[in-house]
Amino acid sequence: MNVLLDTVALYRAVTSPESLPEAARNALEEPSNTLFVSLVSAWEMAIKASLGKLALPCEVGQFFAQSSLDLLADTLGLELSAIARVAQLPPHHRDPFDRLIIAQALMGGHSIVTSDARFSAYGVNVIW
């Protein structure tokens, strides 16, 4: 299964994995799953860090790169096709970062590790 972590799940998986629910931890630890993190999450973390809403132990690029390595996760880039897909999504969710992650998941057939129940309204498999 392809598993994409949203920004909160990525942060928690690296800083406090014990805080994730069992289903999320199992998805991250299952060797047959392929894990993905999105550059959208790096962008969201950079903005939140610059606003003082997120404390990172190092600069965002280093944190994101090391997190990807630690989780053995592949990185999803931001493609124009995903941006265009956002325009087709119904307005169940207003957060632009989450909408991009949802579009990426829909296009790639990924399940999403997220605590946000609104993601399931888009027909993506939510793991939490």
Determine contact, residues 70/14, Cβ cutoff 8 Å.
yes
Q: Which two tokens stand for residue 34?
A: 């392929």
- How many domains does the chain contain in total? 1
The whole-number pLDDT of residue 72 equals 97
Query: What CA–CA distance (Å, rounded) separates 116 from 29?
Result: 21
Q: Which two tokens stand for residue 80?
A: 């124009």
The whole-number pLDDT of residue 8 equals 97
What residues contact residue 67 under an 8 Å CB cut-off, 6+ apart?
10, 13, 14, 37, 73
Write the Ramachandran bin of 12: left for phi over 0, alpha for psi from -120 to 50, otherwise beta.
Answer: alpha
The whole-number pLDDT of residue 89 equals 97
Query: What CA–CA distance (Å, rounded) separates 3 from 33?
Result: 7
The whole-number pLDDT of residue 55 equals 94
Q: Which two tokens stand for residue 57?
A: 């132990």
The CATH number for 22's domain is 3.40.50.1010
The whole-number pLDDT of residue 54 equals 96
Token pair 């027909």 is at which residue? 123
Domain that holds residue 29: 2-127
pTM of the predicted protein model: 0.96
The residue ranges of the chain whose pLDDT is under 50 are none
